[in-house]
A and B are shown apart, each in its own frame.
Chain A
Amino acid sequence: SYELTQPPSVSVSPGQTASITCSGDRLGDKYVFWYQQRPGQSPVLVIYQGSKRPSEIPERFSGSNSGNTATLTISGTQAMDEAEYYCQAWDSSLIIFGGGTNLTVL
């Protein structure tokens, strides 16, 4: 079965750039989606189709996808960006989630 691998944790200083990766076999051939989940809240879609941002998501969130790795980049990271981030892709008609990355802003 298809798997997506994320680092368990990433740390970043306020105002710096955070990069969260998601790896999978030939992932660049698929559309990738990224979700932000703050503690006690429902997930929120922050990137869709690998690099597109919903209108309500700040411009500091961006995404890329090539080869075997997709990357979520947060520029000028703010304290409010501290959350768990999940990547997601389709494998045929099944949904696959990565294991999540805890982003700490310190």
Chain B
Amino acid sequence: QVQLVQSGAEVKKPGASVRVACKASRYTFTNYAIHWVRQAPGQWLEWMGWINAGNGNTKYSQNFKGRVTLSRDTSAGAAYMELSGLVSEDTAVYYCARGWDLKRNYYYYGMDVWGQGTTVIVSS
């Protein structure tokens, strides 16, 4: 079945950057958008941004004030999320999720397939 597999857990020091990978399988990667969502311990889901896996266009939540960068490698069928200037409050599970069919309007779609999550711990 359609699957998103994420890279492993990371431990980072404050001020560092982290890059999380999300590899897609069993669907045409460039036909869909990818969202990134994070969840701090015991907290709610927080949307970070999306990337159009076809043309690379991106949209970010203002909550991250330019600290997040989304990219993709179409040859690898993978999306990446890089978060810079890490602080302890960035400790969370980071998820990628498949978004909309790029041939259709985005507002018809939610997130139908999720990765397993990547734990990022920020600690000195």
Q: Is the interface on chain A under 10, 10 to 19, 20 to 34, or 35 or more residues?
A: 20 to 34
The count of A-to-B residue pairs whose CB atoms sit within 8 angstroms is 55
Whether B116 lies near A94 (C-beta < 8 A) is no
A window 50-102: CB within 8 A of B: 54, 86, 88, 90, 93-100
Type the 1/0 row for B94-124, where 1 means its CB is closer than 8 Å to any CB of A. 0101000000001111111011110000000
Q: Is the interface on chain B under 10, 10 to 19, 20 to 34, or 35 or more residues?
A: 20 to 34
B7, chain A: closest CB distance, angstroms:
15
CB-based nearest A residue for B99: A95
Whether A45 lies near B111 (C-beta < 8 A) is yes
Type the 1/0 row for B59-71, where 1 means its CB is closer than 8 Å to any CB of A. 1010000000000
Say yes or no for B35: interface residue by CB 8 A criterion.
Answer: yes
Given the interface pairs A42-B115, A95-B50, the reply to whether A86 lies near B110 with Cβ below 8 Å is no
Q: How far is the CA of A104 from the CA of B118 in the complex (A)?
A: 27
Which of B16-24, B39-47, B72-80, B84-92 contacts the other chain? B39-47
Whether B110 lies near A42 (C-beta < 8 A) is no
Q: Which residues of A contact B95 (CB under 8 A)?
A: 42-43
CB-based nearest A residue for B111: A45
Q: State the majority secondary structure of interface residues on A.
A: strand
Q: How far is the CA of A37 from the CA of B82 in the complex (A)?
A: 25
Whether A33 lies near B45 (C-beta < 8 A) is no
A92, chain B: closest CB distance, angstroms:
9
Whether B106 lies near A90 (C-beta < 8 A) is yes
Q: How far is the CA of A49 from the CA of B112 in the complex (A)?
A: 12
CB-based nearest B residue for A34: B110
Q: How far is the CA of A48 from the CA of B100 in the complex (A)?
A: 12
Q: How far is the CA of A57 from the CA of B61 in the complex (A)?
A: 30
Having A30-B107, A42-B117, A43-B45, one finds 7 other A-B pairs with CB under 8 Å, namely A43-B114, A48-B109, A86-B44, A88-B45, A97-B44, A97-B47, A100-B45
User: Which residues of A does B touch, CB under 8 Å?
Assistant: 30-31, 33, 35, 37, 42-45, 48-49, 54, 86, 88, 90, 93-100
